[in-house]
Chain A
Amino acid sequence: MTEPTTYLSHLELGEPDKTYLDTNELIINMGPQHPATHGVLRVILKLDGEKVLGTECVIGYLHRGVEKIAEHRTYTMFNPYVDRMDYVAAVSNGLGYCEAVEKLLNVEAPPRAQYIRVILTELNRLASHQLWLGTHALDIGAMTPLFYTFRDREEILKIFEKYCGARLTTHAFRIGGCLYETYDGFEGDVKKFLDFVPSKIDEYEELLTTNRIWVERTKNVGKISAEDCKALGVTGPVLRASGVKWDIRKAMPYAAYSEFDFEIPIGINGDTYDRYLVRMEEMRQSLRIIRQAVERIPEGPIMAKVPKVMKPPVGEVYHSIEAPKGELGYFIVSDGSTQPYRVRVRPPSFVNLQALDLMVRGALVADVIAVIGTLDIVLGEVDR
């Protein structure tokens, strides 16, 4: 076994306080099998007692070579693969990929398809945030919210299942629009969900928002400033919680988002508590978008005219969407053949995870867990 390059070697680590009492620093290997690293993340922690001196993330345990696979599949064949990256927000992945290829083909999905896309994507954002909330709360020690969020997430997954037959890796969209027309009672189901879920979100908040221990565990933990966020390329709720009002749905609208009325919640302190509040508010805003979309959904075709054999003209395109975790970008290069010359995925989790080290320096071990939770990473997307 080629045992590795020395980890933590490059970091300028703080030295333990040796002024009076001589204590040894401790190197702890958290993961890849660990209950709170959300999959197979491995974090090497250098500790002075309980204080974190520095971290190093070791990733790649879930690397499947998605980008290489793309080069050997046609555009259509690669579509299901993207669902396997951020598997808790598969619909968002599919939306980003389909829109990028559509852009490359220079076609546009019909309005009805776009509305269906918005509804499903926002439902998926809700599901993703609910999963995040449950696991994040569990990491911090509150068991119960996990079960509440999963109860409500189930309703979303039921809608997905009814719509396209799959619950998790949905493959809901096709290049050029949607394959399936909405099933009978789709709107009713979504409306029923919209009516029932706001009180549930209040219920989560009741359990956590004013809970003294929750506030103490999250306030001023994992603070990151807006400047650091921008420099580190951190996007999504983490960036917004630091006070930057930036959301691709507003900044560079895609799908039908320009037609909806919604707010971008932002935080002030950029700490874990603010990120929690931002995501909670985002859930409510998603509901708002879904309600507008369901009420205004137009009639019409759901598939644009797309050739059976897709051969996009030579060229390249970068298209990004606001996934639940941040900016999810697809950089697709076409050489005019049926297979993409290169598909590059810009995964939000991968880039956001880089901020972990900055956010936990000088904090305690328990904060590392809180910060990993608040970054909302999915290792399928980090490792691809």
Chain B
Amino acid sequence: MLDYITSYLGMNTTPGQAGNVFWALVYIMIVFGGVSVAVMSMNWLERKALAHFQIRLGPMRVGPHGLLQPIADAIKLMTKEDIIPSEADKFVFWIAPLIILCASFTVYIVIPFGPTHAITDLNIGILFMLGVSSLSVLGVVMAGWASNSHYPLIGSLRSSAQMISYEVAMGLSVVSAILMTSLNKEGTGTLSMIGIVQAQQQQQIWFLFKFFPLGFIAFAIFAIAMVAETNRAPFDLPEAESELTAGFHTEYSGLRWSLFMLGEYAAMIAVSSIAVTLWLGGWMRPFPNTLTGDTWDLVFSLIPGFSFLGLALIAFIGVVRMPKHPYFKIQTLGLAGFAAVLALIGLVLFVPAVRDRIQDIFWFCAKVAGFMYLYIWYRATFPRYRFDQLMKVGWKVLLPIAIGVLILTAIAGVLF
């Protein structure tokens, strides 16, 4: 048994490919736990960042600077009465959030956080991701229908039409990135997520800059379509609160509602990961081919530790600026503890053995976090599109451009 466990450590591959069930389960737990934590911290970050965009403070009461707010929310939502409308279709109503949740969590199976840090590497990886994430439409449609109420129904109609429409443009822009993977000597491309990043490594360029501006346009199309896919502002029509109160999840409350939120945020992280993998070089550090050499490798491998120390510093400044009053004692201590934990993580990240293993994951997460911040930024800035305008953008703007980019990429691939 122990041999079975340790044997994987020698293998330089993902647990799924190695066929090691134990390590696959460990990875699954790490990834899903990590995603849940990421969703919670994303929740906190969104409220905080949005508040600062809007000259507010955001959550400040639960824990220092509202750090424990997501936990408080989770407890509140779990203990809330779970209301199922009497006219609702109970079974479908019950299963809809689960479908969304499953769909948005299943895609994490193939997301490569590093060359070996993935649960598995399917050779149809990107196809699998697109397919499974498209299943969440089913959950939305079913939730809207099962609520047996007009607002959710309209919300789910909008949502399904929107998600199907943008999937087309999204798929085409993905194809043009996949096309780029085949530009090697053998002329064989790959759909595997790890393979796509390795192709970028091999060609020594992020696909974002490949055949500039073709790669960039494809990336931009994907970046727009992924916001629409995840029903976020400015494409949040399915849950446009001013029109449809809350869209397809109007009738949901408590835990079930929180499952929708969990699914939504998980899906946001998942599609951002696709974008990072396809165009931003996945786990690769910035400038892998211009700033080469051992010195640069060292410099970049120290960044994770320093950034955690930086966060710890910010938290520590927060400690210093806390009001000196007995009432704030616990808060101050809590924040100081948080700062200490961050600093500790930062210091651990300086240990060479940890450093080398972790930095892939760090760069991947940092890029995804950039996208998460963009989501918040969009939400603070843009008004909401109207349904017909949304459709127009999807079908008449993004789709033709995506097809054009695909053809041009193919031509460029043949010529250069």
Contacts and interface: CB of A to CB of B under 8 A. Distances in A.
A34 B244 CA distance: 9
A147 B56 contact: yes
A68 interface: no
B240 A366 contact: yes
A144 B55 CA distance: 9
A35 B242 contact: yes
Interface in B46-63: 50, 53-56
Given A36-B242, A365-B243, A366-B243, A141 B382 contact: yes
A47 B202 CA distance: 56
A211 B245 CA distance: 24
Interface stretch (A3-11, A69-77, A212-220): A212-220
B60 to A, nearest CB: 16
A289 B85 CA distance: 55
B241 to A, nearest CB: 5
B385 interface: yes
Given A35-B241, A36-B243, A369-B242, A140 B384 contact: yes
B385 A143 contact: no
B80 interface: no
B389 interface: yes
Nearest to A45: B150
Contacts of A35: 241-242, 245
Contacts of B379: 143
A137 B243 contact: no
Contacts of A146: 54
Interface in B374-416: 379-389
Nearest 3 A-B pairs (CB), nearest first?
A: A141-B384, A36-B242, A147-B54
Interface in A143-199: 143-144, 146-148, 151
A50 B382 contact: no
Nearest to B246: A35
B233 interface: yes
Given A141-B236, A148-B55, A365 B154 contact: yes
Contacts of B388: 50, 364
A138, A141, A147, A214, most chain B CB atoms within 10 A? A141
B380 A143 contact: yes
B64 interface: no
A141 B54 contact: no
Nearest to A49: B157
Interface of A: 26, 28-29, 34-36, 50, 137-144, 146-148, 151, 207-208, 211, 213-214, 216-217, 364-369
B240 A141 contact: yes
Contact of B383 (A28, A36, A151, A211): A211
Given A28-B150, A366-B387, 18 more contacts: A26-B154, A34-B245, A36-B241, A36-B243, A50-B158, A139-B242, A142-B382, A143-B54, A143-B380, A144-B381, A146-B54, A213-B234, A213-B382, A214-B383, A217-B384, A365-B243, A367-B386, A368-B243
Interface string B159-199: 00000000000000000000000000000000000000000
A38 B131 CA distance: 42
A300 B180 CA distance: 82
A319 to B, nearest CB: 37
Interface in B208-258: 233-234, 236-237, 240-245
6 contacts: A36-B241, A140-B242, A142-B384, A147-B55, A148-B54, A366-B387
Majority SS at the chain A contact face: helix
B144 to A, nearest CB: 13
A138 B54 CA distance: 13
B163 to A, nearest CB: 16
Nearest to A47: B154
A34 B382 CA distance: 22
Contact of B150 (A26, A143, A208): A26
A155 B387 CA distance: 38
A213 B55 contact: no
Contacts of A214: 383
A213 B387 CA distance: 12
Contacts of B383: 137, 140-142, 208, 211, 213-214, 217
Nearest to A29: B150
Contacts of B151: 28
Nearest to A212: B382
Contacts of B380: 143-144
Interface string B53-83: 1111000000000000000000000000000
Nearest to A368: B243
B132 to A, nearest CB: 29
A35 B241 CA distance: 7
Contacts of B56: 147
B214 to A, nearest CB: 24
B386 A217 contact: yes
A34 B151 CA distance: 11
Contacts of A137: 383
Contacts of A144: 53-54, 380-381
Nearest to A28: B150
Contacts of B241: 35-36
Interface in B352-387: 379-387
B69 to A, nearest CB: 19
Interface in B129-167: 150-151, 154, 158
Contact of A369 (B234, B243, B382, B389): B243
A213 B241 CA distance: 17
Nearest to B381: A144
Contacts of A147: 54-56
Given A26-B150, A369-B243, A213 B53 contact: no
Contacts of B384: 140-142, 213, 217, 366
A232 to B, nearest CB: 25
Contacts of B55: 147-148, 151
Given A35-B241, A144-B54, A144-B381, A366 B150 contact: no
